[in-house]
Amino acid sequence: MSTNQKFDVAVIGAGSAGFSAAITAADEGATVALIGYGTIGGTCVNVGCVPSKALIRAAETLHIAKAADRFDGIEASAKVTDWQAAVQQKQELVDDLRKAKYSDLLPAYDSVSYIEGEAAFFEDGKLSVGGDIIDANKVIIATGTRPALPSIEGIESIPYLTSTTALELETLPESLLVIGAGYIGAEIAQMFARAGVKVTIISRRGLLPEAEPEIGKALTEYFENEGITLISGISYDRIEERSGSVVLTVQHDGKPREISTEKVLIATGRAPNIESLNLGAAGIDINPLGGVKIDERMRTTRENVYAAGDVTGHDQFVYMAAYGAKIAAKNTMYSSSLSYDNSAMPAVVFTDPQIASVGLTEAQAKQQGVDVRTSVITLDNVPRALAARDTRGLIKLVADGETKRLLGAHILAPEGSDSIQTAVFAIKAGMTYEELGSMIFPYLTTVEGLKLAAQTFDLDIKKLSCCAG
């Protein structure tokens, strides 16, 4: 295409946020320059959600077989016979979805012109790609993130895995050290452990430190039962190669401790892709998270420049990236009239049991000065879990003690991800826990646990018969 063309909107980044912005703007009648750099499709389909969940599901079959003896008279077995085949099957899915959901969509939008190249701003706010000026009235930055390195002496001198390269390994290592215990580290650690790798997770604050403490404690126990070693309360000294292994030295309980492993996975967060954009010259500020600073209407500190998705450092989930990008695109067309709202944003960690959350944690509610009431039930109170003979998990609800309005819901359950949307609707609608507890729920479902947890605020559910509430 010719860069002499004038566009209504230029979108930098061709991942989930970028495509969402481009398609939304095109549907609103805009001519759009969609600027991609690297593999089209971004993080989720290529190196994030899709490949990780595919391999997590593959490894889950190994655990299901191992756990089958919880039912009397049942025996099952499963083993990895060809990990390379599993990885290749995963890659085929990635390739198919990238084609179907990204590259093959472009011909359907005549008003979207795809431009390949690295974008940068000039001091006057103009945008260039490979030195060619892109003449656009509005710009949306949606360049995403990449794995970030922790500040550990020697880290750049050792061979390490990221969440991207770990999912490309075609041979399973004997041992794996995961540095970082957030959701990425937790998901991948459990996947490799179930595939037969000796896994150690190390972190400063323990497993999933941002989750409700009851959930972090319970999941730590379940991980340890699966043979995963967890080490927390440490400070990092250095990391180095030694005799074919990688050795991490930390301070633990006031003493130096060495951890030796075949492979190391760095899972300590992600860094926004902003270095090449020349944002400072264009007067576009960075926020304390290291991402592009925006307001509630997705506007940056430069007029007519917006940002959306992971590059902002907020709510790094693919669906929130697409949602924010839609708002940004519509605001480029309609004078910034729409605001971003994450008050009922669901989040899922695909460990087993799964962690699904929406709204405030207990600590967050207290920080806001709320008179907090909480309800916690373990899954041995949920008939579905009893029938499945898998009572790992719990449900915690957070409410305003004065108004009884539901503020947060946090589920740790094997099928937790399929239950959280009910709590999303409840919080979005401003329901009280009494209203949630009086609703009709289907029996022998995981989501029924939300009803039971809501009733637990005021009742002893152990004294109720089945469905009596």
Task: Confirm or deny that 181 is annotated as ligand binding.
Answer: yes
Tell me what pLDDT residue 2 has.
44
User: At residue 1, does pLDDT exceed 50?
Assistant: no
User: At residue 249, does pLDDT exceed 60?
Assistant: yes
d(CA 401, CA 372): 5
Q: Can you name the residues that pair with 128 across neighbouring β-strands?
A: 120, 133
Task: Confirm or deny that 310 is annotated as ligand binding.
Answer: yes
User: At residue 300, does pLDDT exceed 80?
Assistant: yes
Domain ranges within the chain, ordered by starting residue: 6-41+102-147+271-333, 155-268, 347-462
- Reference 230, options 247, 205, 212, 211; nearest CA is 205
d(CA 25, CA 32): 7
d(CA 172, CA 359): 38
Q: Where does 155-268 sit in CATH, by number?
A: 3.50.50.60
Task: Confirm or deny that 182 is annotated as ligand binding.
Answer: yes
Task: Confirm or deny that 233 is annotated as ligand binding.
Answer: no
User: At residue 336, does pLDDT exceed 80?
Assistant: no
Residue 169, both tokens: 């390994």
User: At residue 466, does pLDDT exceed 90?
Assistant: no
d(CA 95, CA 104): 12
Task: Confirm or deny that 117 is annotated as ligand binding.
Answer: no
d(CA 281, CA 260): 45
Look up residue 359 and give its amino acid. G
Task: Confirm or deny that 188 is annotated as ligand binding.
Answer: no
* Residue with the two structure tokens 């390195």: 149
Q: Which CATH architecture has domain 6-41+102-147+271-333?
A: 3-Layer(bba) Sandwich (3.50)
- Residue 468 pLDDT class (50, 70, 90 cuts): low
User: At residue 467, does pLDDT exceed 80?
Assistant: no
Task: Confirm or deny that 183 is annotated as ligand binding.
Answer: yes
User: At residue 452, does pLDDT exceed 50?
Assistant: yes
Does 155-268 match 6-41+102-147+271-333 at the fold level? yes
User: At residue 264, does pLDDT exceed 60?
Assistant: yes
Q: Which CATH superfamily is domain 347-462 in?
A: FAD/NAD-linked reductase, C-terminal dimerisation domain (3.30.390.30)
* DSSP letter for each residue of 321-358: HHHHHHHHHHHHHTTS------TT--EEE-SSSEEEEE
Residue 30, both tokens: 């805009």
The pLDDT mean for the chain works out to: 96
- Residue 251 pLDDT class (50, 70, 90 cuts): very high
Task: Confirm or deny that 187 is annotated as ligand binding.
Answer: yes
Q: Where are the alpha helices (DSSP H) in 345-447?
A: 362-367, 383-388, 420-428, 433-438
Tell me what pLDDT residue 469 has.
61
pLDDT per position as a tens digit, 360-411: 999 999 999 999 999 999 999 999 999 999 999 999 999 999 999 999 999 9
Tell me what pLDDT residue 3 has.
54
d(CA 118, CA 108): 24
Tell me what pLDDT residue 200 has.
98
- Residue 19 pLDDT class (50, 70, 90 cuts): very high
Mean pLDDT of 400-429: 97
Mean pLDDT of 326-346: 94
> Residue 399: CB partners within 8 Å, gap ≥ 6?
372, 373, 374, 375, 405, 406, 407, 432, 433, 457
